[in-house]
Amino acid sequence: MIASYGKMSEMPKRKKKRFSAVQTVKAMARERIGAPPGSRVVPDRKKEKSEKHKTTLGRLLQEE
């Protein structure tokens, strides 16, 4: 027996996106002025990794 599931080959229609004034204004600004420059990540000074262990006297003497 062959089961029939109706019209399975057709994909459902896409929903129309709701109007957003913000997106429209941004798109118009991009057309007139151009795309904004890409942002760069500024490293946080507080989170910089410091040495986990202080250098020992033996290592200090070996370096010299």
5: number of Cβ within 10 Å: 6
* pTM for this model (two decimals): 0.38
pLDDT at 56: 85
The confidence score (pLDDT) of residue 36 equals: 84
**What is the structure's pLDDT at 62?**
84
Residues 17-56: b if buried by 16+ CB within 10 A, e if exposed: eeeeeeeeeeeeeeeeeeeeeeeeeeeeeeeeeeeeeeee
DSSP assignments along 30-52, one per residue: HHHT-PPPPP-PPPPSTT----S
pLDDT in tens, the chain (64 residues): 556 666 667 888 899 989 999 999 999 999 999 988 888 888 777 777 777 788 888 888 887 6
